[in-house]
Chains A and B, each alone.
Chain A
Amino acid sequence: LAKTTQPISMDSYEGQEVNITCSHNNIATNDYITWYQQFPSQGPRFIIQGYKTKVTNEVASLFIPADRKSSTLSLPRVSLSDTAVYYCLVGDIAMNRDDKIIFGKGTRLHILP
């Protein structure tokens, strides 16, 4: 059973705000939500992590509703260089051998000029 579900792909235009939603209906009490960005021919890059409500850093914002069954990664004013695959992961941040680190299929974001 997949831990997360994301749209397979999205298109947007430069300068727009992009919101990518991830569903995680079976999220556990100790689970955090983490997002990665991966450019072609590179390893994934950690973007942001949160547990509840809203987290913001210099790259993105992460919105998590009270029930935590979904989350939304928000990228403000995207540029062509934001074209990448974005992965949403959920899991316990402490080393727990019962937890499986699972990268889902990710969302392929394509920014158009």
Chain B
Amino acid sequence: SAVISQKPSRDICQRGTSLTIQCQVDSQVTMMFWYRQQPGQSLTLIATANQGSEATYESGFVIDKFPISRPNLTFSTLTVSNMSPEDSSIYLCSVAENPKLYEQYFGPGTRLTVT
């Protein structure tokens, strides 16, 4: 299974600012995903990061708020823009190979607190 790292592991940010989270994989992977998990809650898929093209966002998430880059098959970034306290959450990236969409491997997560 792939080894996934995320940076930063945690951060405290002021409202109105932006934070970029990095996800690095130790091998090339077909699919990369970004999730949000509020404390004590389940995971919600934000978007699928597509290499070389725009990310595919789930309902309720928009590119202006969560711009995503995926410049190659081992790296992706998620930016949380114009943050508010409601954005306080854990953000996780995951990877998978097609056709193993549901066999995903997750990074350790980034814990974001917005004050």
Q: Which of A94, A95, A101 has the most CB of B within 10 A?
A: A101
C-alpha gap A105/B58 in the complex (Å): 18
Q: Decide if A43 is an interface residue (CB 8 Å cutoff).
A: yes
- A94-B98, A97-B56 in contact; A34/B103 too (CB < 8 A)? yes
Nearest A-chain residue to B94, judged by Cβ: A43
- Secondary structure of the A side of the interface? loop
C-alpha gap A95/B97 in the complex (Å): 9
Structural contact, B109 and A43, CB atoms closer than 8 A:
yes
Q: Decide if B99 is an interface residue (CB 8 Å cutoff).
A: yes
Q: Which of A51-100 contact B (CB under 8 A)?
A: 87, 89, 91-97, 99-100
List residues of B whose CB falls within 8 A of some A CB.
Answer: 1, 4, 31, 33, 35, 42-45, 56, 58, 92, 94, 98-109
Instruction: Enumerate 21 A-B pairs (CB-CB under 8 Å) in ascending A order.
Output: A41-B109, A43-B92, A43-B107, A44-B43, A44-B106, A46-B103, A46-B105, A49-B102, A87-B43, A89-B102, A91-B101, A91-B102, A92-B101, A93-B103, A94-B101, A95-B99, A99-B101, A100-B45, A101-B33, A101-B102, A104-B42
